[in-house]
Amino acid sequence: MNPPRGEQREDAVLRATLELLAEIGYGSLTMDAVAARAKASKATIYRRWSGKAQLVTAAIERHTAAADHPAPDTGTLRGDLLGLLRPMRDRLTDESAALVLGLLTAMRDDATLAAAVRARLIGVKRDAFAPALRRAAGRGEIAGEPEHGLIAEVASALLFSRLFVTGEPLDDAFLDRLADAVILPLLHGATP
């Protein structure tokens, strides 16, 4: 059974928004361009979203909700970490890279957009590590429950650096090194 027409229209508008963000960036994105790409009227868009920041926020939330995966339970901390890092890497190296880069640039100039991106993209990433770290503490692999936000921030920073700064591969060998030389030593209180 097909979704209701209103839901199809909303999906088309949000998909068009994400496509345009990746292609032309937040600064160049207009409601006219979204309406044209989605084959919708501007009135339809404005009935649902009051402005560009709200529309982009909704598109980001829909995009990240579709990509959210529960933290894997492989039985080991290392396995769980790699199970979290691989989808993070995969999302960055597909069409999301241009979108994320454009959003990071736009966040400097739009406080509403910045708050939404931080809450959704960054908050979800931080929270993804918590269950794996709790399980590891329960199994005795690590002492206590470390600050999962720091681990997520370190992992994200190194993935971003590889993708946007150094251009070095984000292959499985890198993820293994990230887990073994950086994250696990941080979790065990050692200096990497």
SS3 call for 76: coil
Residue 93's pLDDT band, with cuts at 50, 70 and 90, is: confident
Mean pLDDT of 4-31: 88
Does the structural domain 5-52 have CATH classification 1.10.10.60?
yes
Mean pLDDT of 19-23: 86
Evaluate if residue 136 carries a pLDDT over 80. Answer: yes
Evaluate if residue 27 carries a pLDDT over 70. Answer: yes
CB 107 within 8 A of CB 117: yes
The DSSP letter of residue 121 is I
Mean pLDDT of 45-54: 91
Evaluate if residue 149 carries a pLDDT over 80. Answer: yes
Residue 31's pLDDT band, with cuts at 50, 70 and 90, is: very high
Burial (CB count <10 Å: 0-12, 13-18, 19+), residue 46: middle
The CATH classification of domain 68-187, taken from the options 3.40.720.10, 2.40.340.10, 1.10.357.10, 1.20.5.510: 1.10.357.10
Burial 143-182 (b: 16+ CB within 10 A, else e): eeebebeebbeebbebbeebbeeeeeebeeebbeebbeee
Residue 192's pLDDT band, with cuts at 50, 70 and 90, is: very low
